């Protein structure tokens, strides 16, 4: 079933509820047009190319064993985007 919010209801919501509603609308739109799978596929491609998973990437960056490059920044952006769409 779809998710909708009437404009009149949206105007009465708290800022927190507005943010939650917009996030949910965006998440459903994102998933319905197939982009969710595309993002996951791109993340999988990075994991294959580098030979470790995204959790290991974050750990290596945190520990200073890996430096952020333009490509790593793209990977991080995809992870952030995926994380935010699930929230």
Task: Look at residue 1 and tell me whether its pLDDT is greater than 50.
Answer: no
Kindly report the pTM of this predicted structure.
0.60
How far is 21 from 4, CA to CA, in rounded Å?
A: 9
Domain of residue 7, residue span: 1-33
Look at residue 14 and give its three-state secondary structure.
Answer: coil
Is the same domain home to 46 and 85? yes
Is the same domain home to 29 and 41? no
pLDDT, one tens digit per residue, over 14-62 is 999 988 888 887 777 666 666 777 888 999 999 999 999 999 999 999 9
Residues whose CB is less than 8 angstroms from the CB of residue 53 and which lie 6 or more positions away in sequence, other chains included:
47
- Provide the token pair at 75: 């990977």
Number of H helices, E strands in the chain: 5, 0
Instruction: Report pLDDT for 47.
Output: 97
Is the same domain home to 86 and 49? yes
The domain total for the chain is 2
Task: Give 52's DSSP letter.
Answer: S
Instruction: Report pLDDT for 39.
Output: 86
Is the same domain home to 56 and 15? no
Task: Look at residue 2 and tell me whether its pLDDT is greater than 70.
Answer: no
């Amino acid at each position: 079933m779809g998710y909708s919010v009437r404009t009149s209801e949206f105007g009465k919501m708290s800022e927190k509820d507005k943010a939650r509603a917009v996030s949910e609308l965006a998440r459903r739109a994102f998933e319905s047009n197939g982009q969710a799978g595309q993002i996951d596929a791109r993340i999988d491609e990075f994991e294959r190319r580098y030979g470790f998973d995204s959790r290991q990437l974050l750990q290596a960056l945190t520990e200073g064993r890996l430096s952020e490059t333009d490509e790593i920044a793209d990977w991080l952006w995809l992870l952030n985007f995926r994380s935010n769409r699930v929230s």
